[in-house]
Amino acid sequence: MKKIMFISLSLLLIAAVAFSGCLNSGDKETTDVVIGYQPSTHQMAYTSAKELGWWSDNLTKMDEVTKVSDKSFPSGPSEATSLASNAIQVAYIGAAPLIPAVAQNNADLKIIAAVQINGSGLVIPTNATYTDPTYFEGKKIATFPPGSIQDTLLKQWLTDNGVDLSKVEIKGMDSGEAQTSLKAGSVDAVFLPHPAPSIIVKAGDGKVIMDSGEMSPDHACCVLAVSQKFIDEHPDVVAEIVKIHVDATKYTNENPETAAKYYANVTGVSEDIILSSINEWDGAWVSDPHLIEEYVVAYAKSQYEQGLVPRQLTSEELFDMSFYDAYVNKK
* Confidence category of residue 48, pLDDT binned at 50, 70, 90: very high
Question: What CATH number does the domain located at 120-215 have?
Answer: 3.40.190.10
DSSP 161: T
Are 79 and 36 a contacting pair, CB within 8 Å? yes
Position 147 scores a pLDDT of 82
Position 4 scores a pLDDT of 40
Position 287 scores a pLDDT of 98
Mean pLDDT, residues 15-39:
65
pLDDT digits (tens, 9 = 90+) for 175-226: 999 999 999 999 999 999 999 999 999 999 999 999 999 999 999 999 999 9
Mean pLDDT, residues 139-168:
94
14-18, 291-295, 303-307, 323-327: which range is least confident on average? 14-18
Q: What percent of the chain has pLDDT over 70?
A: 92
Position 27 scores a pLDDT of 60
* Confidence category of residue 331, pLDDT binned at 50, 70, 90: low
**Same fold for the domain at 31-117+219-330 and the one at 120-215?**
yes
Q: What are the CA-CA distances from residue 176 to residues 63, 75, 258 (Å)?
A: 40, 11, 25
pLDDT digits (tens, 9 = 90+) for 277-316: 999 999 999 999 999 999 999 999 989 988 989 999 999 9
pLDDT digits (tens, 9 = 90+) for 83-133: 999 999 999 999 999 999 999 888 999 999 999 999 999 999 999 999 999
Pairing of strands 140-143, 284-285: unpaired
Query: Whole-number mean pLDDT of the chain?
Result: 91
Q: Which residues contact 175 (CB under 8 A, 6 or more apart)?
A: 39, 40, 74, 75, 144, 192, 193, 196
Q: In what order do the strands lie in the sheet with 90-94?
A: 65-72, 31-37, 90-94, 222-227, 109-114
Is pLDDT larger for residue 197 or for residue 13?
197
Angle separating helix axes 149-160 and 293-305, nearest 10 degrees = 70
pTM of the model as a whole: 0.86
pLDDT digits (tens, 9 = 90+) for 298-309: 999 989 988 989
Domain 31-117+219-330, CATH among 3.30.230.10, 3.40.190.10, 3.40.50.880, 3.40.50.2000: 3.40.190.10
Position 10 scores a pLDDT of 42
Instruction: Locate the domains of the chain by residue range.
Output: 31-117+219-330, 120-215
* Confidence category of residue 274, pLDDT binned at 50, 70, 90: very high
